Amino acid sequence: MGGPDSMRRFLLASVLLLGTSPAAAAWQEARTKHFIIYSEQKTEDLRAYAERLERYDRAVRTVRGMDDPALSDGGKVTIFVLPNVAAVQRLHSFSGSNVLGFYLGRAEGSVAFVPSRIGARTRVEIDADHVFQHEYMHHLQLSDQKSPLASWMVEGIAEFFGTAGVDEDGTVRIGAPPQVRGYMVLEDVGFTTEQLLTGQTPKNAIERESVYGKGWLLTHYLAFDKARAGQLTRYTTALGRGEKPLAAANGAFGDLKKLEAELEKYARGKFNGLNVPPGPKPEVTVRPVSEGQAAIMAVRMRSERGVDKSSAPGVASSARAIGQRYPGDPLVQGIVAEAEFDAKNYPAALAAADRALAADPNNVQAMIYKGRTLAAMAKEKGASADWAEVRRWFIRANRADTENAEPLYLFYQTFADSGQAPTASAKEGLYYAQALAPQDMGLRLAAVRQLLQDNKVAEAEPMFAAIAFNPHLGPSQQTKLAEVMALIRARDGKAALAMIEAEEKKAKEEAAKRA
């Protein structure tokens, strides 16, 4: 569920429909163990939505045996609930498309934009939940990836858990078939089982769709068929050892034509499911946001969505006007600092960051954007730049929130920006940032590069796997990444790094031509 991107930002798309919401109320914030949610829903509806997301998270972790560490705000997913699909599409800048919502996995904090879910739970609303749950499953997969996953597994597992439903008593039902992929499952079009298992690159829309539909079917069958218990683990273990996909598939599943016949029969049967008991009632805190935060919410969402050279000045202008009305609100001023920084209005960004810190000395966003602004100015100064002062702000932000990946990553980047070799502590910070925010592909690639530079090729292999097996990249990109992975598995780190750098240089040159 998502469109291709140069280093996937996990875009979320669907052809589903969604009902409209009742009249909006005031903006509120709901906080749970794993999510920060902003919505204009009624308090009881927002609380119910937050509880449903938490129950889904708990069910997935229970079934997959995942750890559940405590998260600071930087590690939680921030969700903005918009009033309808049209609002989501306008924010996505893709109005009139099939985009229902989208998710961005980032070091600065993963975010999702979804349409409102209010009222009776209908089939349409369950499908809308499916959209978010599928992408959140990718978020969890990357948080807990111990071995490389084939492309069909990435999407098949996300579909398997993404269709989960939460009953009124909190029971989570896992294993329901994805209604929107019924044709793909029943008609058995697209990839054969062998093509799926051997990682062939889709050449058309039908084959791409079969990665999801048939990927779901194969995942479901292997999860519930007792005769094939343990085969999926053997398959992934073989891939992790570097076996060729066909050899790994034959070794784990045996005769692939027999497996194909079993799947065809299974697709026309009754699908089993798994019920996960409710467990404790999730803790949800709901509070109204301040007047200033409500006023700047639209600007904040636009900044979180991401701006470019053409849109940044307008967003900054809007933020500046609102900031003038709320000079003492630290969260408002932090958002202003970000918008001014994006527009390269560096003195204004520093002034907003200082106002935020004057009101709240522990405002991490203000610390980060003061550091980012000083770094941008330092790059322009050249040899006279005070990089120690730049790093001081990222160190301060890290101390204020030790589990936030962004200041660690930014601290590491200051060495490349200044032309200096990274210190041992900067490298360790980079690796810890990657562990905290494994969903950020840029951060992940930076960690891989550093490991290759230090000739820690074996450590780079599992980290690179999520990039190499990304099912949302184009055929040419997948081919290049497969070549890099082959070099890493051959422990030729120097050649792997050279290929990565050559591809990055090529991408920058192409981007410059488009600008």
pLDDT tier for residue 410 given thresholds of 50, 70 and 90: very high
| Segment 189-216 mean pLDDT | 88
Do 97 and 138 share a structural domain? yes
pLDDT at 422 (0 to 100): 98
Q: Tell me, yes or no, whether 290 lies in a domain.
A: no
Are the beta carbons of 367 and 397 closer than 8 angstroms? Answer: yes
pTM for the model stands at: 0.88
pLDDT tier for residue 318 given thresholds of 50, 70 and 90: very high
Q: From the centroid of its chain, how far is CA 90?
A: 20
d(CA 356, CA 351): 9
Tell me: pLDDT of 83 over 70: yes
Do 239 and 139 share a structural domain? no
| Element (DSSP H or E) covering residue 36 | strand 35-39
pLDDT tier for residue 87 given thresholds of 50, 70 and 90: confident
pLDDT at 128 (0 to 100): 62
Tell me: pLDDT of 67 over 50: yes
Percent of the chain with pLDDT over 90: 69
Tell which of 127, 154, 176 closes a domain: 176
Mean pLDDT across the chain:
88
Q: What is the CATH number of the domain that holds 41?
A: 3.40.30
Q: Which amino acid is at 376?
A: A
Do 166 and 49 share a structural domain? yes
Q: Tell me, yes or no, whether 194 lies in a domain.
A: yes
Tell which of 151, 176, 201 closes a domain: 176
pLDDT at 240 (0 to 100): 80
Other residues' Cβ atoms within 10 Å of the Cβ of residue 55: 21
Q: Tell me, yes or no, whether 466 lies in a domain.
A: yes
Tell me: pLDDT of 345 over 80: yes
Q: Tell me, yes or no, whether 99 lies in a domain.
A: yes
Q: Tell me, yes or no, whether 277 lies in a domain.
A: no
Domain count, the chain: 3
Q: Tell me, yes or no, whether 283 lies in a domain.
A: no
Do 76 and 166 share a structural domain? yes
Do 208 and 152 share a structural domain? no
d(CA 333, CA 352): 5
Note down the domain range covering 231.
188-272
Do 245 and 145 share a structural domain? no
Q: Tell me, yes or no, whether 353 lies in a domain.
A: no
- Please give the order of strands across the beta sheet that includes 285-288: 102-104, 111-115, 77-82, 35-39, 28-31, 285-288
Are the beta carbons of 3 and 472 closer than 8 angstroms? Answer: yes
Q: Tell me, yes or no, whether 400 lies in a domain.
A: no
Do 222 and 138 share a structural domain? no
Mean pLDDT is highest, among 47-51, 268-272, 506-510, for 47-51
Lowest model confidence (mean pLDDT) among 31-40, 156-165, 467-476:
467-476
Do 56 and 105 share a structural domain? yes
Do 136 and 196 share a structural domain? no
Do 76 and 22 share a structural domain? yes
User: Which residues, 6 or more positions from 13, have their beta carbon under 8 angstroms from its beta carbon?
Assistant: 1, 2, 3, 97, 98, 99, 100, 102
